[in-house]
Amino acid sequence: MEGMNHMKKGLLLVPFMTGKGGTETVIKNLFTAYNQSANRHDYQLRIYSIGGSNDYAWAQPVEKVTIKRISNYRLGRTLYYLTCLPGYLLRVIKRERPDFIISTNPVMWFLAYRIVHLLKLKTRVIAWYHYSLQRKPVRPLFLHAADDYLAISDAISEELVRAGIAREHVYTIYNPITTDQTVVQRPLAGPARFIYLGRLDLDGQKNLRDLISACRLLRGEWRLDLYGDETNAQAVKDFVREQHLEPQISFRGFVANPWQQIKQASALVLCSNFEGYPMVLAEAMSHGVFCIASDIDGSNELVTPSNGSLYKLHDYQDLAAKMQAVIDAPQKMPAQKQIQTTVEKLLPQEYLHRFNQAIASILKEKDGVK
């Protein structure tokens, strides 16, 4: 980042996180890319994990992390956030005097913004929200209490602008993927192999009802492997049984590194009712896997005719038609190398370049450099 002659200091404030979510993966991928970058960085980023985490694997590549454990219970953490958090953040910001603060949590960036103004610091406060504002709205009081915004998708970027945030303060950086880019082969003979990766919800966010209903209409030889957390899987298993699809649908459970286990795939299917920026699609594409997804914000930014096809949400007959095309005419699908090229912008070093550019622009504004 040109124009800066000394190391800038940044803080990343995060609330309690389970350790297994998408935000944790993004943070891990960001810091991994930061550590592996051949370029000299002009900023240091320290994490304050306020509330702790059930699993700290995501923080492995983070050199500087301060963990503030509060309570194992949600109520205990909520009481702390309501009563003690302002004082804690005041002490941290007063001591650190950072050049910029990033937070994924609206309450934290709101408090940081107020404290920065109270202390008359030049610190820029950056909101890094990982959800759609339509799905998980942020109160206007909190939303507008930041100087700049990092958006994980074009759709969220547009939501921020519609909510009254100036476009020049919104930086669309997407999310990074980690992948070894090995090609998962398409089966040349035998049944078409469909895969699903994600939480097993019948009617929740992941909407497996669409997928199983579509499977009932398929003709020819096919198999479906479901990988994912089975906490709510009983309703899914019951529905598979009702549809008499047990011979073709296999439940594989949660697998830590599914792409090391999946040897063949014709297509990955994602039927979500909503997503922020569905990394599972990007990861599949990085392995050359064709993707069929519901036409929703996030998914429709990733899926193009060059790497997959979209179906109308809840129109399981449309989904069945898209899956049937894979069974009937696999030779008409895009080449796997072509599919891989469509997600190159999400590879860690490309992502880090966008992140660094956003921070550089924000800090130039802080220093009054146009």
Domain boundaries, the chain: 8-176+347-366, 192-345
Distance from C-alpha of 88 to C-alpha of 36, rounded to nearest angstrom:
33
More confident call, 63 vs 256: 63
CATH topology of domain 8-176+347-366: Rossmann fold (3.40.50)
**Is the pLDDT confidence value at 167 over 80?**
yes
Q: In terms of Cα–Cα distance, which of 48, 47, 49 is closest to 19?
A: 49
pLDDT above 70 (res 316): yes
**169-215 pLDDT per residue, tens:** 999 999 999 899 999 999 988 999 999 999 999 999 999 999 999 99
CATH H-level superfamily of 192-345: Glycogen Phosphorylase B; (3.40.50.2000)
Q: Do domains 8-176+347-366 and 192-345 have the same CATH topology?
A: yes
Kindly report the number of other CB atoms within 10 A of residue 332's CB atom.
8
SS3 8: strand
In tens, the pLDDT along 25-55 reads: 899 999 999 999 877 788 999 999 999 999 9
CB 199 within 8 A of CB 229: yes
CA triple 259-263-29, angle to 5 deg:
15
- Tokens in use for 79? 């009481």
